[in-house]
Structure 1
Amino acid sequence: PARPYLLMVGTLEPRKNHAVALHALARLKAAGLPHRLVIAGGRGWLFEPIRRLVDELGLADDVIFGGYVPAADLPALYTGAACVLLPSLYEGFGFPVLEAMACAAPVVCSNVSSLPEVAGDAALLVDPHDPVALADAVALVLTQPALADAMRALGPPQAACFRWESCAAETAALYHAVAADGP
């Protein structure tokens, strides 16, 4: 059978923090957790340093640069992933977290920017500057089936909190409350 894989979705650019993910992958490999890392996203700026780091860390056979993946194909990638990583240094929102959770994939993401609010209690949060913390969190997901199952169960309800219908209903309720208070 093919090796299980970790997944990162998004354009390859520095803020996505692929370097920390690669260092974490190298630690996981050294610890006997030989997963592949699939990176689904277009090549952004500063791609070549990431490509070189893959080689320097001895991960050429462990990292798959999948390129741009159409939105219709992403659910299959999320569903098949052992864990989805988003160690971003900053995010405007963090759609990959919600997409992964909607597909019941366990998520490990940064504890900065918008990600803690988006992820809620359904993900493991780590310092994006700490590859050891990222590797340790991913190792927990990979080695503790009960934890991974709990994360899979918590993900879809967390993602549902951010559906457009929910946002529209909350906004309408706020407008009604403000209007009821009068001028």
Structure 2
Amino acid sequence: MKRIVHLIPYHEIGGVEIAARSLPTGCHGELEFERNYLVKAPTSTVEAGEYHGPEVSLNNPRAFWGALLRLYRDPPNLLVASLWRSALVLICLKILRPRTRTVIFLHLAHDVHLVDKLANRAAMSLSDAIWADSSVTLDRRVPRGLHGKGRVVSFLLNQRSLPEQCDPVPEFIFWGRLNAQKGLDRALGLFATLVRQRRDARFTIIGPDGGMEDQLRARVAELGLRDHVVFKGRMRHADIADAASRASFYLQTSRDEGMAMSVVEAMQNGLVPVVTPVGEISNYCDDKDSAIFVHEDDAAVEAVLALLADPDQYRRMSCAAAKYWQEKPLYRDDFLDAARELIGSRGDEA
């Protein structure tokens, strides 16, 4: 039995954490998978096959030393580290136990800050492999000389049957962290332009505050959108899917992205994404075929209005968005296949 540990800073609702929990802990044929978190978030639940560190700040040294000591005493056959704080633990473990196989897993197409850049670059050099959530992340983040270690891991979390085709309504939705990266300030401006022509338009914004919620609420007031925009805060995944079933468009004008899992989920639900073509979005969305690309806001608004006036064309685009993800490999399967190749272990999954 070969043991794999996926190390993550803490359990949140972001793409990294949701993907990690889509792979069940426990035995998968000859592999045993577990999740480790540096700290225990106050609202997180502990599942079987998980270890959560102390309930302290992510910047508390206890979180790092505790994880390192645990992994040093009981080293896995493969350590997979996501995000820069976990990369610091990987670096230390690789120095103390150089024979331990390690993977640094990249989830964004750009460095967030200097420490993020330095920690991930060091981890890339020391690791046996580099995994990325998309080809864009791999190309942009990994130095050319290390590309031979690189591999893209699918971030499709589940397979879904094709959704029922419906006529379009001016209902828009977004889910994710409310941070600057997602560009929701621009999305609100675009939506305000549309509201001037469709007073029945509504925009539902779901997700925890990532530092921008107060500014976004102020922007809603400034644009006169209080009767058209609702902030729902955190929601369970099943509740997000229920809210998405009542919408026709997914609106996200990100400044930068890696894989953008919420866009993938929206497409699987049959929503037409209205998105900036950044990161991997430009590779799996097709402008005017399965999505509306936001280059100029006014042009994007006109494209949305045209779809609202042409239900047949909307249904064609909705169907194309959902069909794209049929038959694509799942995250859980791709993760385990990549692990098997790296540690030289083969066999059928249980």
TM-score interval (norm. to shorter): 0.7 to 0.9
Q: Distance in 2 between matches of 1:30 and 1:37?
A: 14
Report the 3-state secondary structure (helix = DSSP H, G, I; strand = E; otherwise coil) of the residue aligned with 1:160.
coil
The counterpart of 1:97, out of the listed 235, 254, 263, is 263
The answer to whether structure 1 residue 125 and structure 2 residue 293 are counterparts is: yes
| Alignment partner, residue 9 of structure 1 | 175
| Alignment partner, residue 88 of structure 1 | 254
Higher relative helix content: 1
Structure 2 stretches lacking a partner, 5+ long: 1-168, 342-350
Cα distance, 1:97–1:163 mapped onto 2, change above 3 Å: farther
Contact persistence 1:89–1:110 (CA under 8 A) = yes
| Alignment partner, residue 193 of structure 2 | 27
- Tell me by how many angstroms 1:134 deviates: 3.2
**Percent of aligned pairs with the same amino acid:** 27
The answer to whether structure 1 residue 74 and structure 2 residue 240 are counterparts is: yes
- Tell me by how many angstroms 1:136 deviates: 2.4
Report the 3-state secondary structure (helix = DSSP H, G, I; strand = E; otherwise coil) of the residue aligned with 1:80.
coil
Larger mean Cα displacement after TM superposition, 80-89 or 117-126: 117-126
Report the 3-state secondary structure (helix = DSSP H, G, I; strand = E; otherwise coil) of the residue aligned with 1:22.
helix
Q: Distance in 1 between matches of 2:294 and 2:332?
A: 28
Please tell me whether Structure 1 or Structure 2 has the larger radius of gyration of its CA atoms. Answer: 2
Structure 1 stretches lacking a partner, 5+ long: 176-183
The counterpart of 2:228, out of the listed 62, 84, 90, is 62
Q: Distance in 2 between matches of 1:132 and 1:45?
A: 28
The answer to whether structure 1 residue 116 and structure 2 residue 282 are counterparts is: yes
The answer to whether structure 1 residue 153 and structure 2 residue 319 are counterparts is: yes
| Alignment partner, residue 306 of structure 2 | 140
Contact persistence 1:5–1:82 (CA under 8 A) = yes
Q: Which has the higher contact order (CA 8 A, sep 6+)?
A: 1
For these two proteins, the number of residue pairs brought into alignment is: 168
Amino acid at match of 2:226: A
Cα distance, 1:163–1:70 mapped onto 2, change above 3 Å: farther
Larger mean Cα displacement after TM superposition, 22-31 or 137-146: 137-146
* CA offset digits 1:3-57 (Å, max 9, x no partner): 8521111111111111111111111111135311000111111321111110010
- Tell me by how many angstroms 1:165 deviates: 6.8
- TM-score, scaled to structure 1: 0.80
The answer to whether structure 1 residue 36 and structure 2 residue 195 are counterparts is: no
* CA offset digits 1:119-170 (Å, max 9, x no partner): 244212222xx332332232233222122101121122212354417973xx
Q: Distance in 1 between matches of 2:231 and 2:327?
A: 31
The answer to whether structure 1 residue 107 and structure 2 residue 285 are counterparts is: no
Contact persistence 1:8–1:86 (CA under 8 A) = yes
Contact persistence 2:292–2:300 (CA under 8 A) = no
